[in-house]
Amino acid sequence: DDLIVADRSHQRHVSKQVMECIQKYWKVSDEGTLTRYLGVHFTRDANGGWTVDNSPYITQAKEKFDQYPLPISLNIPMPTDWHVLPSDWDDYTLDIKLLKHYQSIIGVLIWTVSTLRFDVAYHTSVLAQYMTRPTEKLVKAAYRVMGYLVGTPIFKICYNTPAYPELRNRIY
């Protein structure tokens, strides 16, 4: 198990005290400044802020998308005229292999949305509604969303410290 301790105190004295208390009961180690946690990468900026991204997770996870070509360099996750229609299930036959593959790739998209890439939340939500009856059209749509993620690795979240010194070191 992992534990992240955030400390604004001078010389990290609060986090040291927390570690000492925990070490009385469990064997733990201090891994230093946070750089990676659950597939999310953290970078400390020179101004004291943080940049958070999950592009390494996306790069690794794209290996699961191996049934169809992965479209890259897309401007939007899904075309605006894309729809799921009742006729998509005309003559539907459940393919267990396709079902398992679809569930796996939707899991990747859900994790990506949950950790950082909120820009594909709607598309992932729509696709996740069909976890028990996927069609080839839905699988290809999921590939398109993943292709968009792979093609937009620069999307990150930056948490900056306030510009005014009097606003720093406050709890909001």
161 within 8 A of 168, measured Cβ to Cβ = yes
- Pick the closest to residue 42 from 156, 146, 167, 164 (CA basis): 156
Which tens digits make up the pLDDT trace of 38-54? 889 999 888 778 899 99
Which tens digits make up the pLDDT trace of 139-165? 999 999 999 999 998 889 998 877 776
- Averaged pLDDT of the chain: 89
- Give the model's confidence band at 16: pLDDT under 50 very low, under 70 low, under 90 confident, else very high: confident
Which tens digits make up the pLDDT trace of 101-119? 999 999 999 999 999 999 9
- The answer on pLDDT for 32 being more than 90 is no
pLDDT of residue 95: 95
